[in-house]
Structures are given as structure tokens and as C-alpha cells.
Amino acid sequence: MVENAGTNLTNSLKAVTKTKLHEQIVIQIQALIDEGRLKHGDQLPPERELAAIFKVSRHSVREAIRILEQKRILKSRPGSGTYIILEEESSVVDFLARAINHEKNTIAEIFQFRELLEPQIAGLAARNATEKDLSILQEILQRQQNNLDDSTASMDLDQDFHRALARATGNAVLLQVVELLDHIFLKSRHAYSQSPQRNRLSLKGHREIVKAVKSADSNTARQLMADHLTAIRNLVISSNDHQAE
């Protein structure tokens, strides 16, 4: 689940009346981004709702979304929704992602990088998380509990948790870092994803972190994330060592 910008959009967008309707939709969405009322990571309402707000056909909405995707302002995720992305912010992060990928990091090095980044994310989330953020995190924990024996679902939910925690910081650049580096971090999740033991360890760590975030305890959240990543890293590397023997 993600934050939906529908409420703000309903009050901010206007019906369009001129010939090139999709162009006016593009202009309005870009204006809201320029004003800071739509930010990176915000989710747009569904096409049907946007068509009702603008008083146009869904075809016009789809055309506007297509243009904004070409401009790298929007990104559609199948089965999830359409999200705001900010190309100017992503350029530096793209460079970082390419640099890390080029170095062909080992699993240990990926965990080392995560241990530098993610405790800070947890600490900031503890200061800034909203009730909605906490609700999303709790829902992910429940889904993790229900899927402990499903390796694919557990891997996806682990990714969802860390992304939701980044969103809870309220910092769009940090969220972009996590999203753009997900394909690199995925290697550290795949390595031992078949093990219910890792899934249980992951759930335990996530629960403790959410408890600290809910208590607005930034220092504890930061330390718990560091401890969590160390425990997962040790389990993954130990498993790889045994497989090599």
C-alpha cells in the first residue's frame, strides 16, 4: 500500500474544456508538481476517478499519463498504480546505482552498503512516520506472518517493508534511493530466500523496528535496523559458506 494523493487532487484539479484535453491534464499535473503539492512517490487516483475529476473520457486521461511517462514524470506499476517520479532528483541517484552495479558487489558488500543507509532511514522514519505509514507497516507485518512458508511472497514483502519504511521518512530523495537500488539489494534477499528461518528472523526484526518507529524512538529504531541487517547478513553468509563446503 502507498500514500494516495486523491484527496488533494480532488480539491486542486479542474474540469478541462478545450480541444486538446490531455494536454491540459498534463499542464495541471505538472503545475501541482512545480508547486510542491505532488511529490515523488505520491500515487495518482485511478483512471476512472481522474476522468471524473477532469470531466473527460478515460482515453484522455490515459493519453496524458502516456505523455507524462514519456517525460519521466509518471511511472505506472502494473497491479499497483501510477506514481510521481522526479527526474532531476533521480539523476544523481541513477549515477550512484550504476556505480554500485558496475562494481559487481558481493553479497557482503551489498549488506555493508545497506548497513550504512538503512539504519538512518529507520531513525528518520521514527521521527516522521504518520498514522497511515504505521498502518501500512503493520499490514505488511501481518502479511509476512501469513506467508512465512512462501519464499517468493516473503521476499516481495521484505522489499515492501523497507520501501514503506523509506516512504515513512517523508524524504522523497531517500525513497528514490531505495527504489532505484532495489534491483541491487534484491541479490541480498534472493541469496537465502528459500529458508523459513530467514523469513522468521526477518519478521522478528521488522516487528521490533516498527515498535520503535511507533514509539518515535529514533535512536532505538536506528540501532534495531543495524542489528537486524547484521543478523540477516550473518545468516546469509553462513548459509553460503555451508553450501560451498
Question: Are the C-beta atoms of 122 and 222 separated by less than 8 Å?
Answer: yes
pTM of this prediction? 0.59
Of 30-39, 118-127, 180-189, the poorest mean pLDDT is in: 180-189
Task: Report, as an integer, the average pLDDT of 176-197.
Answer: 72
In tens, the pLDDT along 110-166 reads 888 899 999 999 999 999 999 999 999 999 999 999 998 888 888 889 999 999 999
Biggest alpha carbon–alpha carbon distance for the chain:
71
In this prediction, residue 75 carries a pLDDT of 87
Residue 221 banded pLDDT, cuts 50, 70, 90: very high
Q: C-alpha angle with apex 174: 115 to 178, nearest 5 degrees? A: 60
pLDDT over 80 at 3, yes or no: no
Q: What is the CA radius of gyration of the chain?
A: 20
Q: What is the pLDDT of residue 44?
A: 93
Task: Please tell me the predicted confidence (pLDDT) of residue 184.
Answer: 74
Using CB atoms within 10 Å of the CB of residue 38, give its burial: 0 to 12 exposed, 13 to 18 middle, 19+ buried: buried
> What domains does the chain contain, in order, with CATH numbers?
6-84 (1.10.10.10), 89-244 (1.20.120.530)
**Is pLDDT at 87 greater than 70 in this prediction?**
no
Angle between helices 58-70 and 21-34 (to 10 degrees): 50
